Amino acid sequence: METMITARHGEIADILRTRAERVVERLARLAVRPTAAHVTFDVDHQRSTAEIRLVAARGAVHVASAEAADHRTALDRAVAKLRRQLDKTDPNPRRRAGSARR
């Protein structure tokens, strides 16, 4: 899977870049045959924004963006949004730990 991380109107630290790559790898496990991911960090009027765009099989595109005071918090919020999207579209829901068996 091809992963691209970019920053608009500023620079991002290498630690944040590494964290974004790890997070995208974890999210890719939930998607059906992911092909590409693009993470964009932006700063606008003292608000940091993170946007994650994950392209999966058959042209399915999952997009989540979030704002926060810093890039790390914005990334975490966008990850939570994208994870919810992927859970909704999962064709084979995995049994969660602690879920009741029937």
Is the Cβ–Cβ distance between 85 and 60 less than 8 Å? no
- The answer to whether residue 102 is domain-embedded is no
- The answer to whether residue 94 is domain-embedded is no
Query: pLDDT digit of tens for each residue in the chain (102 aa)?
Result: 899 999 998 889 999 999 999 999 999 988 888 999 999 999 988 899 999 999 988 888 999 999 999 999 999 999 999 999 988 876 665 655 555 555
- The answer to whether residue 101 is domain-embedded is no
Residue 24 phi/psi, 5° resolution? -65, -40
The residue range of the domain holding 25 is 2-89
- The pTM (predicted TM-score) of the whole model is 0.82
CATH code (residue 58): 3.30.160.100
CB burial of residue 79 (10 Å; 0-12, 13-18, 19+): buried
How many domains does the structure of the chain reveal? 1
What is the helix, strand, coil percentage profile of the chain, to 5?
35, 30, 30
- The answer to whether residue 96 is domain-embedded is no
Is the Cβ–Cβ distance between 40 and 20 less than 8 Å? no
Distance separating alpha carbons of residues 49 and 88, to the nearest angstrom: 24
- The answer to whether residue 98 is domain-embedded is no
